[in-house]
Amino acid sequence: MKRSFLLSLLVALLTAPAFLQAQTLSQAEKDGLLQMRQEEKMAHDVYVALGETYPLPPFMHIPNAEKRHFNLVGLLLDQYELSDPLADRSQEAGYFSDPGYAKLYRQFVDQGAKSEVEALRAGAEIEELDIRDLQQLIAQTENTDLRETYSLLLEGSKRHLRAFTFQLEQRDANYEPKYLSATDFAALLDTGAATGKGTGKCCAKGKKCCKTRK
C-alpha cells in the first residue's frame, strides 16, 4: 500500500500543472534560468561565427551541443512559465536582450578574428565562464529540475573546454584560466585525462605542461 501511495504521489508531481511548479522557484532561481538561456546562446553564436573563418572540429561540432543546451533551458522556461528573454529573436545571431551578453559576444568574436589560436582561446574562456556560472547555480538551488539540467550542461562544458585546450596544445599554445582557480582548472583537465575525456595536460597558471607559441 505504501508503494502504491508513493507511485501515485510521483505521478501527481510529474503531472502537476506548470503554474504550480513555477511557484517553487525563487527569484534567484528564475534569474539563473534567464541567465543561462542567454549564456548558452552566446556560446553558440560565437562558435558559429568563428567557425566560418576557422573550420576546426570544436567550431564545427560544439555549436550543435550548445543548441541542445539552449533548448533544454528553454524547456524549463516553458515548464515554469517564465518569459523567454529572447522572445521571437532567439534565432537571430548576435542578439541578446542582456547588454552584458551582447558585449561578450562582440568581445569574443573580435578576439577570435585575430588568429586561429585566439579563436580557440576565446572558446576556452567561454567554456570556463560557463563552468563557473553553472557550478554557482547548482550550489544555489535545491530544485531537482534545475540541478539535473545544470549538471548535464556542466559536464558538456567540461568536455568542450578540454576540446579547446587540446586544440591549443596541438598548436604549442596555452590557455590560462580567468574564472576558476589554477588548482580547480588543473583538476578539471586531469579528471578528463583519467576518464579518457581530455588530453591529460594542464594549462593552468604556474604549470609548464603547455607552451606558449613564440
Q: What is the grid cell recorded at 43?
A: 556560446
pLDDT of residue 203: 41
What structural domains does the chain harbor? 25-163 (1.20.1260.10)
pLDDT of residue 79: 96
| Cα–Cα distance, 72 to 149 (Å, whole number) | 7
Average per-residue pLDDT for the chain: 85
CB atoms within 10 A of CB 154: 17
> 3-class SS at 140?
coil
pLDDT of residue 149: 98
pLDDT of residue 190: 86
What is the tens place of the pLDDT at every residue in 83-136? 999 999 999 999 999 999 999 999 999 999 999 999 999 999 999 999 999 999
pLDDT of residue 196: 45
**pTM, to two decimals:** 0.81
In this structure, are residues 36 and 134 in contact, taking their beta carbons and an 8 Å threshold?
Answer: yes
Q: How many CA atoms lie within 13 A of 66 on its CB side?
A: 25
Residues of the chain with pLDDT under 50: 1-14, 16-22, 194-214
